[in-house]
Amino acid sequence: MIAAIRDNELLTANGYLMEHTAFNLFDLTVGLVIVLSALLSFFRGFVREVLSLGAWMGASIITLYAFPHVAKLLGHYIHNPTLASGFAAMLTFMFALIAISIMSGLLLKFVKSGADVGLLDHGMGLMFGLARGVLIVAIGYFIFSLAVNKNETPEWMKGSITRPYVARAAHAVAKLAPSYIDELAGDAKKKAEDLDKRLSEDVKKKSTDSEDGTDALDDVPVKNSTPSSEEKAIDWPDAEALKQRVDDVTKEK
């Protein structure tokens, strides 16, 4: 799992990446996500944001660890493994989110209100929003690292200022993820590589056939137009010969 976050992405501020970086689209995206998360938490308040995020995170964690067991149970009724896994993940997440949200709503009723509490609540909400934004960026980069190979990383991302720090945060997220996530990512990559290999072989074969001047219709057997000894036309007698035969038969009678 940790191997998904590549070592050359974890350089510090004194490393090569920081000497050859510039502010780009990746940095802008990271900044927007963190700022928007901070502003949203500031206006909503720390307590409400913690309970809301806690519900989503709790449901996600429960889903990550429980859905394989639910998928195994659904496998007795749904014979398609992919469909069973999808339903298991969806149902597990929905039930967990609803249950935790109900408990969060009950807790909000016991929270004190007031000017002093409100100011502290909003200030802590701002700090919480910053931390949540960093977590969102780290998880997004972690998923990106699982889906994209090292050689496929866009050039504009390689020159990002914030990328080394985001990669470090993603490295920490990778340590918390279940081990089967790495197995699923490996299987998906292997299937994609096998499919790409088969498609490349098909294209190469068709290209070779075109260069040789052959066609798929060339393999279809063509019937020989020359008649065989058994298919030669019957030698029918002409009219004079047929009349002579009739006369001979009449004379014999």
- Among residues of the chain, what percentage have pLDDT more than 70? 57
Please say whether the beta carbons of 173 and 142 come within 8 A. Answer: yes
DSSP string, 176-229: HS-HHHHHHHHHHHHHHHHHHHHHHHHHHHHHHHHHTT--GGGGS----SS--S
What is the reported pLDDT for 173? 78
**Which of the pair, 68 or 228, is modelled with greater confidence?**
68
Does residue 192 surpass a pLDDT of 60? no
Out of 8-17, 94-103, 205-214, least confident range? 8-17
Give the whole-angstrom CA distance, residue 10 versus residue 142: 13
Mapped onto helix, strand or coil, the DSSP state of residue 19 is helix
Domain ranges across the chain: 2-176
Average pLDDT, the chain: 72
**Which of the pair, 233 or 144, is modelled with greater confidence?**
144
Burial of 17 (0-12, 13-18, 19+ CB in 10 A): buried
Instruction: Kindly give the interhelix angle for 179-211 and 115-147, rounded to the nearest 10 degrees.
Output: 40
Give the whole-angstrom CA distance, residue 130 versus residue 164: 18
Give the whole-angstrom CA distance, residue 97 versus residue 77: 24
The model's pTM is 0.51
What is the reported pLDDT for 12? 40
pLDDT band at 34 (very low <50, low <70, confident <90, very high): very high
Q: Locate 117 and state its tokens.
A: 């509490």
What is the reported pLDDT for 98? 92
What is the reported pLDDT for 95? 93
Out of 4-18, 64-78, 176-190, least confident range? 4-18
Give the whole-angstrom CA distance, residue 160 versus residue 27: 6
Determine the average pLDDT of the residues in 103-129.
Answer: 77
Tell me the pLDDT tens digit for each residue of 40-87. Answer: 888 888 888 888 878 888 888 888 888 888 888 888 888 888 788 888
What is the reported pLDDT for 49? 83
Give the whole-angstrom CA distance, residue 92 versus residue 96: 6
